[in-house]
Structure 1
Amino acid sequence: MEGICGRMCDACTWKEQLDCPGCQDGPGRRFSGGCPIADCCREKGHTACVTCTFSTGCALRRRDMPQNRLWAVEAERERRARLDRNAPVLAKWLWLLFWLVTPSVFSNILTMDTVAGAFPTAGVVGNVLAFLISLAYGVLLWQLREAAGRYRTAALCYLAGGIISGVLLLPAIPEGNWLWWLLSLPVMVLELCAAYQEFYAHAEVLEELDPELAGKWRLLWKWWIGLLLGLFGCIFLALISAILGLLAILADAIGLLVVGIVKLVYLYRTAKRFREYQPAALQKEVL
């Protein structure tokens, strides 16, 4: 059988390597074929390249050689192999990360000024809980280090920040003195670095499975860092006008709360995508 491009399918040396059934059932078919040469012929009203006046010097025929298609097939196999290897790990630990957010929200409530002021013990419990959650979050991210290098960096930042936060809880370092502020600064920097690496690690592992959700993770980071920077701007605004500053801080705080909720939703969706993922071997069995 002669292919659309003019090659004889039975004599083609690439047929076995590409597992190609021919143009009628393989890459040259009308729907989901994936052959640019076949698509070009149909757009111009030709059944094969031989009837086209530009076939001799056609750049498309030179570019779309079987070797390129073989590279594409090998790249797809590597992608599937990575997903088969990483999906079970990601599904397990991302799901645990999702459930760890609930006690994190509880600790934030306990450390709020209104709650901690009325119940000092609650503030202490909240700080200790936040310290333990930060360490646990870092440990869970560390389990994902083989899936993406950014998870390793995020884990180390969370662990380092958690350890320093634990030091700040010691009675020897009262809140507000120079040493407390000196240690608080690296904690904030580490938390920023950890969040950046975590968000982009989620996007990286999703790129081959759900590019749309991967893009949403990157966009969410921009919103998050923008609102944090906006919070500093609100503080300067409060120095000029107390009322406007308080309103701006309130709006920014609501924005950060929304981003936190969206992060929880995205984390759930990310874990769910990998939990629902089927390895290539199982997909072939279903087919």
Structure 2
Amino acid sequence: MEGTYCGKDCAACLYREAENCPGCKLGPGSMSGNCGIARCCRDKGHSNCESCTFSDGCALLRSAPMEPEYRAGRRRDAEELRGRIGRDAPLLASKLNTLFVLLLVSTMVSVVISILSNFHNQGIADTLGSLVSFGVGVAYGCILLTLGGVNRRFKLAGIMHLAGIVLSCAGALLAFMPFLALILLIPAVPLEIVSCRHEFYGYAEALHGLNDEQGRKWRVLWVVNVCTICVTAAGAVFVFVTLGLAALLVLVGAVAALVVYIIQLVYLNRTVKVFEAVAKSQ
């Protein structure tokens, strides 16, 4: 057909009226359209597929009869995505803002306790710090659980986060039995790593269609976080080999962990703002 790139008869298309399509070269096949066949023809300088020597075995051309259906499906998917985002945005904005506040409070309390420990009984300060960390950790995990309806990853992150806290606390309480404490503490590390992965990937998936770039940054941050943990773990292992290298690795790991923590706060704040903007626009 002269009016189309692929030769399809627009007048016979069952989707033309439903999709309010003006026709190939005015609609999906235009410069602003998303038709791969039209783009291929323009790139190769063809007015339609008939003049192309590779048209007989062209996979794009074979997909032409289904293209309107694909396009309708993409439109439905986009509408469903907008509906999901509009439904979940208020909850995400509220809960993620609470997580952000919890992290800030935990940081400030840790700094205050660290300062107080220099002037008062260090044992009391350490106990108070542990209690605050435990409370914040439990609250953090519970909030992640409440987001399980938005994305299953948040539920998994919450479960693993809470399990890691329980094991860490049990290990701390059994410090007088080093071997048993170590058995409890070792699984807490991989649990926290996997929890972090589900949490960060949950943010990335929730941002899909809203801010894909920020979603990509969440995924990258998880990789950086894992590398940080590996460096710190290597430092612990090298204690038995060379103290100098072990101390250096632990120091690098600690600095990297602080940087990751700060970036996490920044990303969390940005993510909150994205969902707040969506919630306000509803």
TM-score category by the smaller chain? 0.7 to 0.9
Shift in Å, 1:131:
0.8
Corresponding residue of 1:19: 20
Q: How does 1:130-141 map to 2 (within 5 A)?
A: 130-141=133-144
Taking the aligned partners of 2:49 and 2:133, their CA distance within structure 1 comes to: 67
Shift in Å, 1:27:
1.0
Farther off after superposition, 104-113 or 120-129: 104-113
Q: Write the letter of the residue equivalent to 1:62.
A: R
Shift in Å, 1:263:
1.3
Corresponding residue of 2:61: 61
| Maintained 8 Å contact 1:132/1:162 | no
Shift in Å, 1:163:
4.1
Shift in Å, 1:113:
11
Taking the aligned partners of 2:183 and 2:248, their CA distance within structure 1 comes to: 29
Corresponding residue of 1:41: 41
Corresponding residue of 1:106: 108
Task: Provide the secondary structure at the position in 2 that maps to 1:258.
Answer: helix
Q: Deviations over 1:12-68 (max 9, x none)?
A: 3211232313235421221x2111222233233344446656667654232133222
Corresponding residue of 1:285: none
| Identical-residue share of aligned pairs (%) | 35
Q: Write the letter of the residue equivalent to 2:252.
A: A
Corresponding residue of 2:155: 152
Farther off after superposition, 254-263 or 188-197: 188-197
Corresponding residue of 1:220: 221
CA 1:24 to 1:252, structure 2 compared with 1: closer, same or farther past 3 Å?
A: same
Shift in Å, 1:236:
3.4
Q: How does 1:241-260 map to 2 (within 5 A)?
A: 241-260=242-261
Taking the aligned partners of 1:2 and 1:278, their CA distance within structure 2 comes to: 43
Taking the aligned partners of 2:131 and 2:48, their CA distance within structure 1 comes to: 72
Taking the aligned partners of 1:56 and 1:253, their CA distance within structure 2 comes to: 61
TM-score normalized with structure 1 length: 0.81
Corresponding residue of 2:87: 85
Taking the aligned partners of 1:236 and 1:50, their CA distance within structure 2 comes to: 67
Q: Write the letter of the residue equivalent to 1:203.
A: A
Shift in Å, 1:76:
2.5
Q: Write the letter of the residue equivalent to 2:229.
A: L
What are the ranges of 5 or more consecutive residues in structure 2 without an aligned counterpart? none
Q: Deviations over 1:174-195 (max 9, x none)?
A: 6343454444344434323322
Taking the aligned partners of 1:119 and 1:55, their CA distance within structure 2 comes to: 79
Taking the aligned partners of 1:10 and 1:190, their CA distance within structure 2 comes to: 59
| Maintained 8 Å contact 1:110/1:122 | no
Q: Write the letter of the residue equivalent to 1:156.
A: I
Corresponding residue of 1:95: 97
Residue from 125, 128, 131 that aligns with 1:128? 131
Farther off after superposition, 51-60 or 89-98: 51-60
Q: Write the letter of the residue equivalent to 1:265.
A: V
Q: How does 1:224-235 map to 2 (within 5 A)?
A: 224-235=225-236
Q: Compute the RMSD of aligned alpha carbons.
A: 3.2
| Maintained 8 Å contact 2:90/2:279 | no
Task: Provide the secondary structure at the position in 2 that maps to 1:61.
Answer: helix
Farther off after superposition, 125-134 or 89-98: 89-98
Shift in Å, 1:9:
3.6
| Maintained 8 Å contact 1:157/1:194 | yes
Taking the aligned partners of 2:114 and 2:181, their CA distance within structure 1 comes to: 19
Shift in Å, 1:224:
1.4
Q: Report how many residues are paired.
A: 277
